[in-house]
């Protein structure tokens, strides 16, 4: 490996080194605040390394990794999101967990590493490795609050289902490998584009891989784990699963199919279209019935991944990557909103339990005007109300669908957006309604730390800024998607 | 053996046994063993394909990674199962039903 290759990989190397250094620091001096600060510094250094890495010309690192603009864009997104999740984790853990809190940061950092390896991988080996670094860290993170029944239960559920889905995925890889003898994405897609060579085994392999993808993205009908895991996991970890973990897998999905014309291939188009339709309807209808905010966010995230799949169908290489562009913008806005929403849920948690029921938020405006405004902004964006990032994202997805005449999918998307508005607004209405008399004693008012408040403020401002002036971010996404 | 078919048959049998174990076992450790069976069937396939299809050793390399993963997963899974046992004095997964819709 040459020096310039090492320089090119610098962001990844820093993210790899940070947990190692953190581990040593924990061995020498166990302190919660120090660990948190060191991990944030590591991530900030990794972000600083991104422009230097971008300036270098070469992209391919051996056979396994490709660090192009697309990968670097996702690195930036993943690292920033992780920082936004780590900082509010500090007061959350201080309040809710009485064991060793420091290892939490190690696990989050390794999970981030896994997710960013996914965004940069072009080979089955790096794909598998990244996915498993991510999932194995998540098993431990989900059951981190090990004195709670829910945490342990969620951890075991995720462990079994994720292990089975990885097994399906890797079995699919084996079947594809048996037909091609290759594991590089580009070579595989050349094979699949040449329909004369396709046979039953390779198609079964591809379907098994899509099942694996579906499990990780929690699209219907592979979604059953997600509400339980979102509910049982600590709020910051739920935010991490919803954003960073799914983002890395989506980045890989886009890259995997980037050279393949999904839109004009009958069976694959049908599979993804069905997944998208089921996820949109399933997610939204199940969310309508929910009174638990964390489960509601879980179902709504199922629906959001249905929307993203519509954009994914609307085009990659053959359509000039318009669809991937829209999907990437949607992911950016979705990251901001879902992380913000879970931060608010984390702030309202008490030592005994998390603020999960919708009634916990009753009259929030009268106690915490700023918090409730930030939370409303997040919910409006999830619902796709104008002037928020969610609206521009949805508009973009719709536009890419209309460009390719996917009328059925577009109409279903619009109907579902209307459904979504109802259950998001229900929480908003609850927040702004008058509290009952005894409310003050029932919900002890939480204290918001300076840093957590700052993160929340930045997220809210970013949300509105993207909703009003998205040009800059869209330009960056266009450049990054071009080289895919 | 110079034919790939026996390897595929053994791999498929182990895969199906693993899936059945995962679906029908109520004991968390049993489910974990089912997962290991499935991963090992994948290994059999990868190594067979590396011998018969590929000119290189990609299949063997990925199977080493799968073995490492299986070990890491078992470590974490047993830690979680141990905590369940400590809390509930049972490792029956049907007892884990606190969260419902």
pLDDT per residue, tens digit, chain B (101 aa), is: 678 889 889 999 999 999 999 999 999 999 999 999 999 999 999 999 888 887 788 889 999 999 999 999 999 999 999 999 998 888 888 888 777 65
Residue A74 maps to a domain? no
Query: Chain B: nearest CA to A325, how far in angstroms?
Result: 32
- Say yes or no to pLDDT of A196 above 80: no
Q: Is B82 on the interface with A (CB under 8 A)?
A: no
SS3 A167: helix
> What residue has token string 């780590």?
A86
- β-strands A65-66, A60-61: how paired? antiparallel
If phi over 0 gives left and psi between -120 and 50 gives alpha, with beta otherwise, what is residue A463? alpha
Question: What element of type H or E holds A66?
Answer: strand A65-66
- B55 touches A: beta carbon within 8 Å: yes
Q: Which residue of A has its CA nearest to B31?
A: A160
Domain count across chain A: 1
A183, B62 Cβ separation under 8 angstroms: yes
**Unique residue bearing structure tokens 């996404």:** A477
Contact residues on chain A for B23, CB-CB shorter than 8 A: none
Q: Does B96 touch chain A (CB under 8 A)?
A: yes
Mean pLDDT of chain A: 90
Does a structural domain hold residue A244? no
Q: How confident is the model at residue A90 (pLDDT cuts 50, 70, 90)?
A: very high
Residue B13, phi-psi category: left (phi > 0), alpha (psi -120 to 50), beta (remainder): alpha
Instruction: Mutation target for B interface from A99, A141, A153, A298: give the one with most B CBs within 10 A.
Output: A153
Mutate to test the interface with B, among A97, A136, A163 (most CBs of B within 10 A): A163
What is the domain extent for residue A427? 261-484
- Nearest Cα neighbor of A89 from A293, A345, A295, A333 is A345
Which residue, among A125, A159, A229, A231, would best test binding to B if mutated, counting the most B CBs under 10 Å from its CB?
A159
A322 lies in a domain? yes
Min Cα distance B31 → chain A (Å) is: 8
Helices within A218-321 (DSSP H only): 225-232, 235-240, 246-256, 266-288, 293-313
pLDDT of residue A439: 52
Tens of pLDDT, residue by residue over A318-331, are: 667 888 899 999 99
Residue A79 lies inside a defined structural domain of this protein: no
In this predicted model, what pLDDT tens digit does every residue of A138-147 receive, in sequence order? Answer: 999 999 998 8
Tell me the chain B residues in contact with residue A177 when contact means C-beta distances shorter than 8 Å.
46, 49, 53-54, 58-59
In a domain, A125, yes or no: no
A211 and B CB contact within 8 Å:
no
Counting every residue written for chain B, the total comes to: 101
**Count of A–B CB contacts within 8 Å?**
114
Phi, psi of A65 (to 5 degrees): -120, 150
Q: Do A181 and B49 touch (CB under 8 A)?
A: yes
Residue A166 touches partner B, C-beta closer than 8 Å: yes
pLDDT at A228: 92
**How far does the CA of residue B72 sit from the closest CA of chain A (Å)?**
7
Distance from CA of B80 to the nearest CA of A (A): 7
pLDDT at A245 over 90: yes
pLDDT digits (tens, 9 = 90+) for A437-484: 555 555 556 677 889 999 999 999 999 999 999 999 999 998 888 877
In terms of CA atoms, which chain B residue is nearest residue A129? B65
Closest Cα in chain B to A148: B87
Query: pLDDT of A197-222, one tens digit each?
Result: 778 888 889 999 999 999 999 998 99
A382-409 pLDDT, tens digit each: 999 999 999 999 999 999 888 888 899 9
CA atoms of A377 and A180, how far apart (whole Å) = 49
Answer yes or no: do B66 and A227 touch at CB < 8 A: no
Separation of alpha carbons A198 and A208, rounded Å: 15
Domain annotation covers residue A377: yes
Cβ of B41 within 8 Å of Cβ of A171? The answer is yes
- From the list B42, B69, B84, the residue facing A156 with the nearest CB is B84
Q: A47 in a domain, yes or no?
A: no
> In the prediction, which pLDDT does A440 show?
52
C-beta atoms of B22 and A160 within 8 A: yes
ipTM above 0.85, yes or no: yes
Residue of B69, B74, B85, B90 to mutate, interface with A, max A Cβ within 10 Å: B69
Note whether residue A18 is domain-resident.
no
Cβ-Cβ contacts under 8 Å, B80 against chain A: 139, 143, 152, 155-156, 159
Q: Does B84 touch chain A (CB under 8 A)?
A: yes
- The two tokens of residue A288 are 């309508």
């Amino acid at each position: 490996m040459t020096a310039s290759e090492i320089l090119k990989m610098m962001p990844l190397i820093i993210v790899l080194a940070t947990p190692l250094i953190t581990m040593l620091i924990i061995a020498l001096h166990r302190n919660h605040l120090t660990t948190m600060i060191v991990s944030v510094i590591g991530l900030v250094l990794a972000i600083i390394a991104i422009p230097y890495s971008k300036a270098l010309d070469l992209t391919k690192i051996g056979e396994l990794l490709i660090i192009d603009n697309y990968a670097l864009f996702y690195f930036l997104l993943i690292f920033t999101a992780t920082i936004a999740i780590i900082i509010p984790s500090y007061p959350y853990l201080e309040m809710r967990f009485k064991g060793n809190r420091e290892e939490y940061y190690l696990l989050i950092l390794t999970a981030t590493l896994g997710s960013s390896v996914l965004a940069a991988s072009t080979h089955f080996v790096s794909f598998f490795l990244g996915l498993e670094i991510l999932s194995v860290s998540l098993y431990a993170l989900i059951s981190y609050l090990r004195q709670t029944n829910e945490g342990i239960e969620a951890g075991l559920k995720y462990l079994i289902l994720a292990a089975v889905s990885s097994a399906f995925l890797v079995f699919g890889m084996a079947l594809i490998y048996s037909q091609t003898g290759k594991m590089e994405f580009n070579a595989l897609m050349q094979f699949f584009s040449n329909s004369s060579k396709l046979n039953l085994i390779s198609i079964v392999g591809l379907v098994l891989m899509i099942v694996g993808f579906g499990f990780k993205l929690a699209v219907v009908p592979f979604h059953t784990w997600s509400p339980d895991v979102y509910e049982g996991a600590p709020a910051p970890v739920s935010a991490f699963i919803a954003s960073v973990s799914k983002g890395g897998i989506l980045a890989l999905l886009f890259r995997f199919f980037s050279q393949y014309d999904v839109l004009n291939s009958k069976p694959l188009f049908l599979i993804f279209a069905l997944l998208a339709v089921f996820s949109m309807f399933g997610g939204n209808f199940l969310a309508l019935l929910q009174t638990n905010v964390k489960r509601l966010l879980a179902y709504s995230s199922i629906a959001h991944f249905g929307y993203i799949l519509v954009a994914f169908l609307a085009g990659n290489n053959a359509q000039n990557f318009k669809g991937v562009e829209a999907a990437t913008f949607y992911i950016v806005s979705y990251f901001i909103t879902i992380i913000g929403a879970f931060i608010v849920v984390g702030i309202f948690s008490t030592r005994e339990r998390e603020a999960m029921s919708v009634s916990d938020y009753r009259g929030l405006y009268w106690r915490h005007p700023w918090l409730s405004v930030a939370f409303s902004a997040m919910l409006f964006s999830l619902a796709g109300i104008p002037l928020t990032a969610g609206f521009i994202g949805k508009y973009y997805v719709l536009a890419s669908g209309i460009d390719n005449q996917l009328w059925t999918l577009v109409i279903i998307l619009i109907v579902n957006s209307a459904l979504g508005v109802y259950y998001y607004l229900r929480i908003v209405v609850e927040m702004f309604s008058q509290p009952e008399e005894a409310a003050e004693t029932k919900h002890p008012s939480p204290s918001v730390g300076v840093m957590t408040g700052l993160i929340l403020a930045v997220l809210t401002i970013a949300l509105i800024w993207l909703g009003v002036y998205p040009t800059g971010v869209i330009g960056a996404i266009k450049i990054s998607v071009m080289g895919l | 053996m110079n034919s790939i078919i026996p390897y595929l048959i053994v791999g498929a049998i182990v895969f199906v046994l693993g899936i059945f174990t995962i679906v029908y076992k109520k004991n968390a450790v049993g489910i974990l063993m089912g997962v290991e069976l499935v991963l090992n069937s994948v290994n059999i396939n990868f190594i067979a394909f590396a011998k018969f299809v590929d000119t290189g050793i990609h299949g063997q390399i990925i199977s080493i990674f799968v073995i490492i993963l299986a070990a890491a997963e078992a470590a974490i899974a047993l830690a979680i199962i141990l905590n369940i046992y400590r809390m509930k004095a049972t490792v029956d997964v049907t007892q884990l039903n606190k969260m419902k819709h």
